[in-house]
Structure 1
Amino acid sequence: MSEPVWQWSAVDTARAIRAGEISSAAVVEAHLARMDAVNPAINAVVAPLHDEARKAARDADRAQASGAALGPLHGVPVTLKINVDVAGQANSNGVVAFRDNIAREDSPVTANLKRAGAIIIGLTNTPEFSMRAFTDNPLHGLTLNPWDQTITCGGSSGGAGASIAAGIGAIAHGNDIGGSLRWPAYCNGVVTIKPTQGRIPAFNPSASEERPPMAQLMSVQGPLARSVADVRLGFEVMAAPDPRDPWYAPVPLAGPPVSRKVAVARIPDDMACDDDVIALYRQAAEHLADAGYELHEVEVPELSKVWTLWRDLLFTELAVMQAPLMRQVGSGTFVRGIEAALRSAPVMDIEGYMRSVSERTRLLRLWMTFLDEYPVLLTPLSVRRTPGPNADIDGSGRNIMWETLRFLSSINVLGLPAAIVPVGLARGAPVGVQLVATRYREDLCLDAAAAIEQRAGRLVENLWSMLDKR
């Protein structure tokens, strides 16, 4: 491979290390050097772990020399989001009051990555409480998009998305309760999979109490990477079982063959679209047709009602179980944002909450029936060009979730898997599309994403050329 080591895919890096073509130490040094070169300008990795990574790399090389069995990510550099437990590091979740919340043991996703041989080179930024679609906080500051500092890197896994696009690490970890994997992947021109709820085990030993019920059903862990193959590898590693998550489902990672029918989502009339963004959405559909998929333009089942259900359930739980602590320790800017969000949605009483939870079953049944007929659903992720770094605060991105990202958060309340794959640039800003399948069929999402990627190419290669010229 002639390109710099930090540009290698996770798949190729693991293969080269296993074949003895390069040492884990050399790979880690290449990624640490890349971090040192590009991270100061974007502030994506807010807890660099140079010393820890170098030690882990030396241990990995000694293990390989001894003939020990090697995991699928042996020696491969990765990052984790700063809202999961990594033993010996602070799980701050972007909150000043939690800066000394040192984890005493690893979360399941951390443990699974380590068991696979991955080497953690740093922790990535998130907004306070991981509760914004934009990545900024008073503890670590603003994370910038490496493509263009006038557009957001997304959130809440904005540090993960920006770092992986810039070439820091081969796989980044993130999580997603309302789009926090998929929106940063879209904004930064990289790939991700939001898995089915229960597919990747989740738990933070440092947490003082359990999350609200629907938050448990809507939040997932997952990988971001620069190619579909790397996301697939990261997903398979993260999905190893862990007894600490009672929601974990030991389901095979691939299912039986299905028809190649794709539902191409019609966009609701009340969503004001950017022509350049929609043109790339149409281009993605053409890529699927070229790959042999059978396209059917259809209206997805009760999209607006599904999105409203996500909002009402999430904000009711937030108001009852989480807002008191957020008001106590959150920054003034964050608290003002939370109060505005709570005013935008009804806080349901117990009957309303129970009826809404019941309604989720009806809507999920409707969508699963729909996905039985159309095994893959193609949707836009956003219908407009990416907004500014703090658009939710400065007013330019008001109502962005409803007006622009309605196809995003709806998938969380249903607990379905969804992939994001880049397609191209809209006036310099990355644009991707979303691919949805029925429960535990991440393989169908990734297969369709790979078909698009094969025709659209890896978008980040354009970014690296730009960065080299700056």
Structure 2
Amino acid sequence: MADIHYWTAREQAAAIRNREISSEELVHAHLSRIEQIDPMINAMVTVQPEHALELARKADARTMSGESLGPLHGLPIAHKDTLETAGLRTTHGSPIFSDNIPTRSQLVVERTHAAGAIPIGKTNVPELGLGSHTVNPLFGATRNPYDRTRSAGGSSGGAAAALAAGLIPIADGSDTGGSLRNPASFNNILGIRSSASRVPTWPNKAAWGYLSVKGPLARNVGDLQLLLSVMSGPDPRSPISFEDDNPLFEYERSARGLKIAWAPDLGGLPVDPDVTATLAATVGALPSMGCHLEQACPDLSGADEVFLTLRAWQLELSYGPLLDTQRSALGPNAIWNIQQGRTLTGHDIGRAEILRTELFHRMRAFFDDYDLLLAPVSQVAPFPIEWNYPTTIDGEAMNTYLDWMKSAYLISATGCPAMSVPGGFTPTGLPVGLQIIGPHRNEARLLQLAHAIETATEFGQRRPHLPPTHI
């Protein structure tokens, strides 16, 4: 039991199915770790121990009865605090929603519960989930377990930090401009932004939109694959969801023969030299795994305008009424985002859609020549927790709190699946994620290379220095 917090989710689930450990014992072990470790990092919010243990006892009864068990049966999970969860306070990191207890759950939450997972609480987010640094006026900032003076990233920063610290075995999140990939990079775990509507979104005010996606976070490729398979698949409440041609996301266990493009600055973005050097060493080892490696980058012209326009439109659609009725309760980042959306015209949105279509076809042609594209997830390593955002990168000024995230959000605009895999550590010990980008609807190919890198490097096995838990 001493190291159970870092068993894989699959090992924990198998132990429950084989009656080697009860769900109640497993949930209690994680609750004990949350109690002892979370005050150091502030990843978890609205923890509900009594309810979780009650659900665990019911799960154990089903185990003993011989019922058919779901793939996540008995595993504790915590949901991102922007994902509506029935009966569990969901604050969105905002005083406006400090007492919000939903009566229904988001589809992705429904699916993990149906697969047998047990909710034990929520994970911290920035205000309204905006930005890649997790801090809000209700709960404060989430600290990086690898260096508690540094940011855990965001907006799924609480989820990523909780996974890295062994507080939970699996977690969910969402990604508009990098909110699954950036915190995965900062916390030495994995996060995948799948193709649009691979994981359907419901409820959704704009059901035909797909800039924002929901998805899984995990400490290893096998657990990520498992959780992605649970979350994915069609649902009649989403008009753009689709059948999975590979519902379990099975993949080749070798990367031999893959033709890979490496774009160290993704076409000219400023990147911190420590990030570049760390990833270059990892990417340089790919030929020894049997991969063919070339330095190449697709034409991403227009991607910046596409993302900023459609994101601003989406956020005004979602939060515009709050600006009219509760402006005093909103922080400056939220106000700025909503106001950006209100400056848009129909011509702006139409132009963005045309540019997005052109971008899609250029990426499609690029992946006729290459199997995968590699790039930095984040242009910087985890930065000091007191910062709102990095104001310069390698001598170049960042004019807004979004600019430093371009290496992630430009890829969002393409619609291609992308993930973060542990790519090494800077000389000062800060995690750096490698971004793997693939053809539309080909998540299995991303998992294939991620598995090869994970096996060869074992970066994901390096844990943060935290005290042992007394259960």
TM-score (norm 2): 0.90
Cα 1:194/1:392, change in 2 over 3 Å? same
Distance 1:61 1:134 in 2: 38
| DSSP-derived class of the 1:459 partner | helix
Q: SS of 1:252's equivalent?
A: coil
Q: Report the CA distance between 1:416 and its aligned residue.
A: 1.6
SS in structure 2 at match of 1:409: helix
**Structure 2 partner of 1:419:** 419
Q: 1:393 & 1:331 partners in 2: Cα distance? A: 23
1:365 partner letter: H
| Alignment partner of 1:432 is 2:428 | no
AA aligned opposite 1:188 = N
The separation in 2 between residues aligned to 1:407 and 1:184, in whole angstroms, is: 13
The equivalent of 1:281 in structure 2 is 279
1:64 pairs with 2:63:
yes
Secondary structure at the counterpart of residue 80 of structure 1 = strand
> Paired residue for 1:290?
288
Percent identical pairs in the alignment equals 33
The residue type equivalent to 1:110 in the other structure is V
Code of the aligned partner of 1:191? L
Q: 2:284 aligns to what SS in structure 1?
A: helix
Moved more, 454-463 or 190-199: 454-463
Q: For the residues of structure 1 that align with 2:361 and 2:137, how far apart are their CA atoms?
A: 42
Whole-angstrom CA distance in 2 between matches of 1:412 and 1:380 = 14
1:262 aligned counterpart, secondary structure? strand
SS at match of 1:355: helix
Q: Of 363, 368, 387, which aligns to 1:367?
A: 363
Cα distance between partner residues in 2 of 1:447 and 1:217? 25
Give CA-to-partner distance per residue, 1:80-123, whole Å, 9 cap, x none: 10111211112221111112222112221111111111111211
Counterpart code for 1:199: R
How many matched pairs?
A: 459
1:95 touches 1:330 (CA, 8 Å); kept in 2? no
Q: Which residue of 2 aligns with 1:383?
A: 379
Counterpart in 2 of 1:6? 5
Match of 1:172 in 2: 171
Shifted more, 191-200 versus 232-241: the winner is 232-241
Q: Which runs of 5+ in 2 are unaligned?
A: none
Report the more deviating stretch, 242-251 or 158-167: 242-251
1:55-454 equivalence runs, <5 A: 55-204=54-203, 210-211=205-206, 216-253=209-246, 254=249, 260-267=258-265, 270-302=268-300, 304-319=301-316, 322-326=319-323, 328-329=325-326, 335-340=331-336, 347-392=343-388, 398-399=398-399, 404-426=404-426, 427-454=428-455
Q: Against the structure 1 CA distance between its residues 19 and 268, is the aligned structure 2 distance closer, same or farther, given a 3 Å change threshold?
A: closer
Q: Which residue identity lines up with residue 305 of structure 2 in the other structure?
A: T
SS of residue paired to 1:186? helix
Tell me the distance in 2 between the aligned counterparts of 1:439 and 1:391. 35
Distance in 2 separating the partners of 1:327 and 1:450: 48
| Aligned-partner SS, 1:357 | helix
Relative to 1, partners in 2 of residues 1:3 and 1:321: Cα closer, same or farther, differing over 3 Å? Answer: closer
State how far apart, in whole Å, the 1-side matches of 2:222 and 2:306 are: 33
Task: Give the Cα separation in 1 of the matches to 2:275 and 2:207.
Answer: 36
Contact 1:387 1:396 in 2 (8 A): no
Does structure 2 conserve the Cα–Cα contact (< 8 Å) formed by 1:212 and 1:317? no
What code does the residue aligned with 1:246 have? P
Structure 2: which amino acid aligns with 1:462? R
**C-alpha deviation, 1:52, in angstroms:** 1.6
Describe the shift of the 1:328–1:283 C-alpha distance in structure 2 as closer, same or farther (beyond 3 A): farther
* Alpha-carbon distance, 1:390 to partner: 4.5
Cα distance, 1:392 vs. partner? 2.7
Q: Which amino acid aligns with 1:443?
A: A
Whether the 8 Å contact between 1:195 and 1:417 is mirrored in structure 2 is: yes
Query: CA shift at 1:308, angstroms?
Result: 2.8
Q: Residue type matched to 1:168 in 2?
A: L
**Pair 340,390 (structure 1): closer, same or farther in 2 beyond 3 Å:** farther
- CA drift at 1:3: 5.2
- What RMSD, in angstroms, separates the aligned Cα atoms of the two structures? 2.6
